[in-house]
Structure 1
């Protein structure tokens, strides 16, 4: 292990929850280097927890341990696990779907259930609502510091038994690409879809092309417009929309120096469908 311990949660920073997890980790080893993905995941949003791990873990060194706590089932019979990915990174998390994106992208090589008789903060057994501190931060710190090996986390769990969320697939019919809005680029209000750039290549869509973009919330159309496909925000005027390839090589929709999500009240999830169709350029004489 490399002493790197990275946290994410839906706790926010308004109270002492995150600080308590840091304290537990440092109590295990002062040599640990503590970092964050984010603590601003919307409350109970397991899909976003899964996505943010997918967004960030591949840029960290092998041996990095991630602790992810978005746990609406805390205190229930859901499992607490540590997953080892094919990239030799470790994810400490409840087994509630948080591992979905990593399982489908980099892949999981092994998962172990946390043995709480060994890997639980001492004198915390009467607490059932803060496993992020008492189980996940403690176990993650012990693993990242080399206090325990991966095998000492607990018994192996069959990979087929790990809970995965349903992720809708992109479809193409009659040259219309239909996908979904996975997540928002929160700070800037850009919309990130699940449409990989290969679908544009398949349909012969290149930079400078114009596409008809239609967005639905459930079955209700909430947006329809012609938008150009550019390399960067500089390819359009301030205040105008743009299609682009985001940092995960998927199609995003932005409003140059504005929030597309706020302007058009865009939501994320299965109810938020987006359709893209290339518009042939007209030749005027």
Structure 2
């Protein structure tokens, strides 16, 4: 049975690169379904590519093939790999850290190394700068169409040998919750953290409570404010900040109808951390 092929890159849509990947996939089998995850990963940003896979893969049917190409090391000695996740999905990607979040949160069943010399688009041997087309889209289409099996794509390689990025675990210390700001809700500028909703429940924070949010960049405090833990953006006025639960059931921080990231120059990754605690009650004397 044929499976869907889902493409992710940092190529953008300003030229023919993505279209060429589609063309290669349809040349392998013009009846397979090809879809886009995104082609707007920031250039060379392996961290964001890794997170977007984690955000998306679990919602596709088992057996779906993902091709992720954010590849600043293209043409170098870095490996090309394909993994089968614990959920039964496949990811074909450079071995540069793109599997970090999948491996950490979802789990990997097996990884195989693709032979870049033998398993590539015919007559592309002299090209060394477009593996997204010549190796990843090509082999992704072969796997999705059933032309080749996962096992036939290459020899097994141990998970411990692949590249992984550093991850900061969310933590609870007393009444204080700490986590990293992993990624943005890009279009709206909200901050997505790795602090799960269960942690808020553990410290007795409920919808309608006020919380104190403190943001650090490389351990330097850059923002602090009190805000509402809201069920939805409509619970606060336009322009007001809020804490909410995002689509991955983790803590998010936003400004209603504005970009929190742009307003306060907040970035993402392990250099950016966030602390949250229940705000003390303020008593105003007469």
TM-score, normalised to structure 2's length?
0.96
> For residue 195 of structure 1, what is the aligned residue in structure 2?
195
5 Å matches for 1:28-39? 28-39=28-39
Gaps of 5+ in 1: none
Q: Distance in 1 between matches of 2:36 and 2:118?
A: 26
Q: 1:231 to 1:99 in 2, by over 3 A?
A: same
Stretches of 4+ aligned residues off by more than 6 angstroms: none
Q: Distance in 1 between matches of 2:2 and 2:195?
A: 35
Asked if 2 retains the 8 angstrom alpha-carbon contact of 1:3 and 1:31, the reply is no
5 Å matches for 1:9-20? 9-20=9-20
1:176 is displaced (CA, Å) by 1.8
Asked if 2 retains the 8 angstrom alpha-carbon contact of 1:170 and 1:178, the reply is yes
> For residue 266 of structure 1, what is the aligned residue in structure 2?
266
1:174 is displaced (CA, Å) by 4.1
Asked if 2 retains the 8 angstrom alpha-carbon contact of 1:189 and 1:259, the reply is yes
Q: Distance in 2 between matches of 1:236 and 1:158?
A: 49
Paired residue secondary structure (2:14):
coil
Gaps of 5+ in 2: none
> For residue 208 of structure 1, what is the aligned residue in structure 2?
208
5 Å matches for 1:100-139? 100-139=100-139
> For residue 88 of structure 1, what is the aligned residue in structure 2?
88
- Backbone CA RMSD of aligned residues: 1.3
The yes-or-no answer on 1:224 pairing with 2:217 is no
The yes-or-no answer on 1:73 pairing with 2:73 is yes
Q: Distance in 1 between matches of 2:66 and 2:204?
A: 39
1:275 is displaced (CA, Å) by 1.3
Residue correspondences, number: 285
Q: Distance in 2 between matches of 1:34 and 1:165?
A: 29
Cα deviation 1:186-221 (Å, max 9, x = unaligned): 011111111111110111111111111111222432
1:128 is displaced (CA, Å) by 0.9
Paired residue secondary structure (2:76):
coil
1:77 is displaced (CA, Å) by 1.1
Q: Distance in 2 between matches of 1:45 and 1:273?
A: 18
Deviates most, 203-212 or 269-278: 269-278
Cα deviation 1:97-131 (Å, max 9, x = unaligned): 11111111221111111123432001111111111
> For residue 166 of structure 1, what is the aligned residue in structure 2?
166
Asked if 2 retains the 8 angstrom alpha-carbon contact of 1:114 and 1:154, the reply is yes
TM-score, normalised to structure 1's length?
0.96
